[in-house]
Structure 1
Amino acid sequence: MTETTRTRRRGPQLEQAILDAAWAELSDVGYPALTIEAVAKRAGTSKPVIYRRWPSRAALVVAAWATRRPISEETPDLGSLRGDLLWLFTRIAMRMDAMMSQTIAGVMSEAFKHPEVQEFLRERMDSAPLSESLWTIVDNAVARGELSPVAIPRRVLQLPLNLLRSEAIMCGTPLTEETLSSIVDDIYIPILKGLAVR
C-alpha cells in the first residue's frame, strides 16, 4: 500500500479497514496471539492511529466483533413471549459463536485488569440494540395480555447477554437449543413475570 493511499483513508473508511484487519487477525491467530502491531500492519496504518480510537486490544476486538453480526433485523412478533425471546436469544448465541469462547474469556480477563476496558464494554452494552429488541418483545407481550406492564431495570436488560456469555465461556460454543430454552424458560421469563407482579 502506498503512502498516498494511506493518507487518503480517513474517518469511517480507515476505521472499517482497521476493524476488518482486527477480525482477520483474530481469525488467523486467535485472541492470545493477536497484537495491535500485527493489526496495524495488516490495515496499512500505525499503532498510534489504532490506539487513538480504541484504548486496548480488548476494546478493538469487541468493536470488530460488533461489525460482524449486528442484531439489525426488525424484531418479529411471533405470537408469544417465549417464541420472541427464543428468537432473540438465538441471535445473541449466533454472535457468541462467531466470536469464539476463548476470545470472550480473553476480553473479560482484560476488562478485570483495565478500568478503561470495563468502561468501554459498559458503553457498548448500554448502546447495543439488545435493549431495544427486548423492549419491543416485552411491549408485544403486554399488548397480547401475556404480561402486566413491567419496568425492566438496566441489569435485567443486560442479563441475556451476561447469561449467554457465561455459558459460552464455561461450556463453549455453539450453545444448544436445550440451553437456550432452559435460560428462557427457567430464568428470563420468570424474572419478567416477577417484575410485572411488582
Structure 2
Amino acid sequence: MIARKTERRRGEALEAAILVAAWETLIEQGYGNLTMEAVARRAGTSRPVIYRRWPNRAELAVAAMRHQMKVTPPTIPDTGNLRDDVVRLLQDVVARRTRMGTLISVELSEFFRETNSSPAELKTQIVSRDQRVMEVVLDRAIKRGEIDDQPIKPRIVSLPVDMLRNEMMMTLKPASDTVIAEIVDDLFLPLVGYRRPPAK
C-alpha cells in the first residue's frame, strides 16, 4: 500500500480523509491491524492529528463506520405498493451491507472484546436511518390505504432489516431474493396488517 501524498487539509476535509483511510484499513486488514500510525500514513497526516479527534482506535473505528453509512445512505423506494417497497429496501440493504455485515461479525471480534460491547450495541451507534426509511415507506402505505393508520411498535418497524442483517451475519453471505420474500411476505406484512388495494 502506497501512502497518499500529504496535503494541507483542515476541518471537515481532513476528518473525511481520515475516516475514509480508517474504513479502508478496516475492510482490507481488519480491526486487529487498525492502528493510528497506519491510518495516519494512509490519510497523509500525523498520529497527533488523529488522536486530537479520536482518543483511541475503537472510537475511530465507530466513526469510520458511521461515516461510511452516511456517504452511502439508503434509498427510499416508491414502487406504488408496500410489498415491493420493502423488498426493494431489503435488496438495497444487501447491496450496501454485505461487506459491512462480514466486517462486524468476523473482523471486529477484537473490537468487541476490547470495548466489552456487542454487535447490537455497535449497530445503535452506526445504523440510524433504516427505521426512519421504513417509517417513510409505511406512511406512504397508510396514505394508499394498504395498512391502517395506527401506531406500529418500533420492533416491528425494524423487523425486516433486523432479520435480514441477522441472516447475513449468520451465513456470512448476501441474502437471496427468496429469503427477502419470506421475511416480507410471511412475517412483516401480516404483522402490519397489509392489504393489497383493489386493482383500479
TM range (shorter): 0.7 to 0.9
Looking at structure 2, the residues matched to 114 and 149 of structure 1 have their Cα atoms a distance apart, in angstroms, of 42
Given the two structures, how large is their TM-score scaled by the length of structure 2?
0.75
Q: Unpaired segments of 5 or more residues in structure 2? A: 195-200
Q: Unpaired segments of 5 or more residues in structure 1? A: none
1:59 corresponds to which residue? 62
2:159 corresponds to which residue? 159
Distance 1:119 1:168, change over 3 A: closer
SS of the residue 1:163 aligns to: helix
Q: How does 1:21-100 map to 2 (within 5 A)?
A: 21-54=21-54, 56=58, 57-67=60-70, 69-71=72-74, 73=75, 75-100=76-101
Distance 1:183 1:69, change over 3 A: same
Residue deviations 1:102-129 (CA, integer Å, cap 9, x gap): x12144773576268876642433xx33
Number of residues paired by the alignment? 185
Q: Is the Cα–Cα contact under 8 Å of residues 58 and 107 in structure 1 kept in the other structure?
A: no
Letter of the 1:143 counterpart: K
Q: Is the Cα–Cα contact under 8 Å of residues 20 and 64 in structure 2 kept in the other structure?
A: no
Letter of the 1:171 counterpart: T
CA RMSD of aligned residues (A): 3.0
How high is the sequence identity, in percent, across the aligned residues?
A: 36
Structure with bigger helix share is 1
Q: How does 1:157-196 map to 2 (within 5 A)?
A: 157-193=157-193
Given the two structures, how large is their TM-score scaled by the length of structure 1?
0.76
SS of the residue 2:158 aligns to: helix
Q: How does 1:83-162 map to 2 (within 5 A)?
A: 83-101=84-102, 103-105=103-105, 106-107=107-108, 110-111=111-112, 114=115, 121-125=123-127, 128-162=128-162
Q: Displacement, 1:178?
A: 0.9
Looking at structure 2, the residues matched to 22 and 182 of structure 1 have their Cα atoms a distance apart, in angstroms, of 36
Q: Displacement, 1:134?
A: 1.0
SS of the residue 1:88 aligns to: helix
Letter of the 2:161 counterpart: L
Q: Displacement, 1:160?
A: 3.3
Residue deviations 1:18-44 (CA, integer Å, cap 9, x gap): 122123223432344333331122112
Looking at structure 1, the residues matched to 92 and 72 of structure 2 have their Cα atoms a distance apart, in angstroms, of 9
Q: Displacement, 1:156?
A: 3.2
Letter of the 1:192 counterpart: V
Distance 1:179 1:66, change over 3 A: same
Q: Is the Cα–Cα contact under 8 Å of residues 81 and 138 in structure 1 kept in the other structure?
A: yes
Letter of the 1:80 counterpart: N
Q: Displacement, 1:51?
A: 4.5
